[in-house]
Copies of this chain bind each other. A is one copy, B any other.
Amino acid sequence: MSISMHSVSAPVFVRMLGNLLTWLDKAELHAQAKKFDVNVLLTARLAPDMLPFATQIQIAADAAKFGVARLAGAEAPKFEDNEASIAELKERVRKTIEFVQSVPAAQIDGSENKDIIIPRRDGSMVLKGEIFLKHFSLPNFFFHVTTTYALLRHNGIELGKVDYLGALQ
């Protein structure tokens, strides 16, 4: 099999979001052991003008959702952005994984030269599918996934590179 627009997007999103769920499980266990409310993490930030933990997860999920939806020309599920607990954030991530998995590979493959419209505050941006995936969607997704991981590590949750990457063999 040759690499394709689907093979380099959906499975990457699904795998990393699955890894992220295991970090949140570990955060819950850690909070339980240390006897603090795990949901205090939701407002954690690495800098006062960076987005908080809950938003990092929301955007990571949205990057995956919009990544495949835009390439496939599919309707993305809507979320209210009102998750108030780790449990609710996990539910959102799970629903996002289900959506990403529901989009047929054939609907994403061949989208290299498709015009992808990205709405922005200051007017929309149009990128070709391949540029969108390689230089916007994947980097943006990994940004928010890694920032989520960094916030957990910064707050004392014990995670390592194996948790980040997931088991490979």
Where the two chains meet, the residues of A that have a C-beta atom closer than 8 Å to any C-beta of B are 1-5, 7-8, 11-12, 15-16, 46-47, 50, 112-113, 125-127, 130-131, 133-136, 138-140, 142-143, 146-147, 149-150, 153-154, 156, 161, 164-166, 168-169
B153 touches A47 (CB 8 A): yes
Going nearest first, the 5 A-B pairs with the smallest beta carbon separation are: A142-B142, A146-B146, A47-B153, A46-B154, A150-B150
Q: How long is the Cα–Cα vector from A149 to B143 in the complex, in angstroms?
A: 9
Q: How far is the CB of A72 from chain B (nearest CB, A)?
A: 15
A138 touches B12 (CB 8 A): yes
Q: How long is the Cα–Cα vector from A127 to B167 in the complex, in angstroms?
A: 12
Chain B residues near A16: list those with CB within 8 A.
139
Q: How long is the Cα–Cα vector from A138 to B12 in the complex, in angstroms?
A: 10
B168 touches A2 (CB 8 A): no
Chain B residues near A7: list those with CB within 8 A.
130, 134
